[in-house]
Amino acid sequence: MPELPEVETVRRGLEPTLAGARLVRVEARRPDLRFPFPEGFVQRLTGARIERLDRRAKYLLAPTDRGQTLVMHLGMTGRFEIDDPRAARPERPGDFALAAPADPRHAHVLFETDAGARVTYFDARRFGYMDLVDSEGLEASRWFGGLGPEPLGPALTAAHLAAAFKGRKQGPKTLLLDQRIVAGLGNIYVCEALWRAGISPFKPAGAIRRPKIDALVDAIRAVLAEAIEAGGSTLRDYAGADGALGYFQHSFQAYGREHEPCQRPGCRGVIARAVQGGRSTFYCPEHQT
C-alpha cells in the first residue's frame, strides 16, 4: 500500500494539472471501487473548480468551490495518469525509470479539466476509494475524525510521542502504526525510522527514554523527507502521477534487508526479520536497543 511519501509524490504530480482547474467532465465507469461512489458523485463534481490539492495522512484532498472536498485513497494498487500537454515533467535526481502504462481495463474514473487535461484513475484491485465530504466538517468526518498529527507538521513533537508512549507495554512500532497517534506512517518508514534512532521495535514504549524519543522524531521527519525527494518507494505497483517509479527503496537500511550486514557505522549486527501484528518488521538486534 502506498505510504505517506508516495501519496505526497502523487499529490505534487497532480497539483499543476488539477489545482485551480474546473472539471468540465467527470466519468465513473463503474458504480464502486472499494466502496460505492457517493450519491450524485459525477453530477456534484462536474462544473466544480478544484481550489487546491492537499494531503492528510495517506489521503489526497481536493477542496472544491462548491463547499465539498473530494477525498481520494489509493488503496493498494491505485494510480493516476495525466494527459496534459502543458505539464512539465518534474525534476528528479539522476535518471529515473518509468512504469509500464496502466492497463486500460482498470481505468475507473476520468476527470477532464477546462484546460483540456485528462486525469485517469486506475485501480487493478479496486481497494482505493473516493468520497465527497462537506469541507467545513472534513476533520470530523469518518475518514479523519480521531487521526493523530501529521508526521511532517509542527504537532508531531517529542512531547507528543512521550505522552503517547507513557506507561505503554506495546513496542514503538505498533504504536507508531496507530493512526490515532501519528497519521500517515506506514510499515516501511517506521522500520527505517526506528533503525535510524537505534530503538528496538519490541521494547516497551513506556521504557524508552526521552533522548531516544527526540532522536525518533528527528528520524521520522528525515526519512519521510528523503523518501519524498526520491519520489517514494516502488516495491510492486506504485508509480507517480508522471509514471515515474520511486527510488527510495534503494536507500533502505532495514526494510527488506534480512540477513544483510547492518550499515550503521561501527555496528556488527545483521538485519533480522520478525512479524508484528501480521506485518514484517526489519531491524538490527545489535544497535536497536
Query: Rounded to an integer, what is the distance from CA 283 to the centroid of its chain?
Result: 22
Q: Residues 4, 153: contact at Cβ < 8 Å?
A: no
E strand intervals along the chain: 23-28, 54-56, 59-63, 68-73, 78-83, 107-113, 118-123, 129-134, 272-276, 279-283
**Does residue 286 have an active-site annotation?**
no
Beta bridge partners of 123: 78
- Of the residues 11, 58, 173, 196, which is catalytic? 58
Known catalytic residue: 285? no
Please say if 136 is a catalytic residue.
Answer: no
Which stretches of 99-157 are DSSP H helices? none
* Alpha-carbon gap, residue 110 to 208, rounded angstroms: 48
In sequence order, which residues have a C-beta less than 8 Å from that of residue 272 and are 6 or more positions away?
258, 282, 283, 284, 285
2 catalytic? Reply is: yes
Of 25, 279, 285, 286, which residue is the catalytic one?
279
Residues 129 and 61: beta-carbon distance below 8 Å: no
Residues labelled as active-site residues? 2-3, 58, 279
